[in-house]
Amino acid sequence: MYYEIYVDLLLAENFLMNYILLRLTRRLLGCSATHRRSAAAAALGAVGILGWLAVYRFLPPQIMACIGIAGFTGMVKFGCNTRGGKQLVLGFFCCLLMSFLMSGGIRLLERLAGRRGMAATVASGFGVYAAVTVFLKIQEQQRKVQKRMVTVYLGAGGKWKKVKGLYDTGNALWDATSRKPVSVIPYEVIKELFSEHLRKGIVEFMEGKPVTEPEELQTLHPHYIVFRSVGCESGVLPVIQIPEMVLVQGNTEKRIRTPALALTGKDSAAPTGCQMILHPDLMDS
């Protein structure tokens, strides 16, 4: 049994595939390799494959496997301009995984669409590139959300409540009475901070009913503020002030006296995974 190998076609296909893989790996790792550097590494890798095939019959499989791994590692190192052993190992496995994905895509295209050679390589590379782009965008969005996540401790009546907060640039609520930025939280989340009588007064205040014992409720400085949102031209939100709020983000801690909190219905204040929407001005307060 023998195979006919067209050297020019094999060289071109491997160069193109190597180049796509190196650029994808560079993007995943955030390396600084230029297009020229990646192209040079891809070309060396394509030539190296031809040399590897030429001597395959004359050396033991174990040695050929080691040569292949060493060559692939060198191509990733130079073509992506990795820094440090950890990044190189990660780049090696990322490039290897995407190589399998591209190879599978090429075979699938050959079966379903009848595409072969360069056309299949380009189409498969485009598909993997699109998948990596979507993945990176999702990762970037998650990182942005994580940067705005904060642990919040709310204190009132000698009690403390720990909640997950999110700095939201869309929150423009401002309390003209206390001249403070207003954060938003469902009443159900913090009701355990108050006594039974005070809970009753807060509920009556939120529902716009006459408060049975207004003197006790006055310690929270209850009032209303006007708001506007998508789908609602205007409305009012009940606002109270509790004694203290502590924001913890990493090693940074911010202590805020008498913060203004707008109370909403159950589970209506923050996105999934959060319990409280913080005013963005509190980030720099």
pTM for this prediction: 0.55
The H-or-E segment that residue 137 falls in is helix 118-148
Q: Maximum distance among all alpha carbons in the chain?
A: 97
Question: Which tokens in the block code for residue 250?
Answer: 């990493």
Summarised one tens digit per residue, pLDDT across range 189-240 is 899 999 888 888 888 888 888 877 778 788 899 999 888 766 555 688 899 9
Please give the pLDDT value at position 109: 59
Inform me whether the pLDDT recorded for 1 exceeds 50.
no
Q: How far apart are the C-alpha atoms of 142 and 144, rounded to whole Å?
A: 5
The mean pLDDT value of the chain amounts to 81
Inform me whether the pLDDT recorded for 76 exceeds 80.
yes
Inform me whether the pLDDT recorded for 60 exceeds 90.
no
Structural contact between residues 248 and 150, judged by C-beta atoms closer than 8 angstroms: yes
Instruction: State the pLDDT confidence band at 245, using cuts at 50, 70 and 90.
Output: very high
Summarised one tens digit per residue, pLDDT across range 10-49 is 787 788 888 888 888 888 888 888 989 999 998 998 888 8
Instruction: State the pLDDT confidence band at 157, using cuts at 50, 70 and 90.
Output: confident
Inform me whether the pLDDT recorded for 136 exceeds 90.
no
Q: Whose CA is closest to 249, among 223, 282, 200?
A: 282
Structural contact between residues 152 and 245, judged by C-beta atoms closer than 8 angstroms: yes
Structural contact between residues 121 and 13, judged by C-beta atoms closer than 8 angstroms: yes
Query: What's the CATH fold of domain 148-284?
Result: Cathepsin D, subunit A; domain 1 (2.40.70)
- Opening angle at CA 89, ends 23 and 127, nearest 5: 35
Show Cβ contacts of residue 66 under 8 Å, excluding neighbours closer than 6 positions.
Answer: none
Helix axes 7-29, 61-80, angle to 10 degrees: 60
**Sequence ranges of the domains in the chain:** 7-116, 148-284
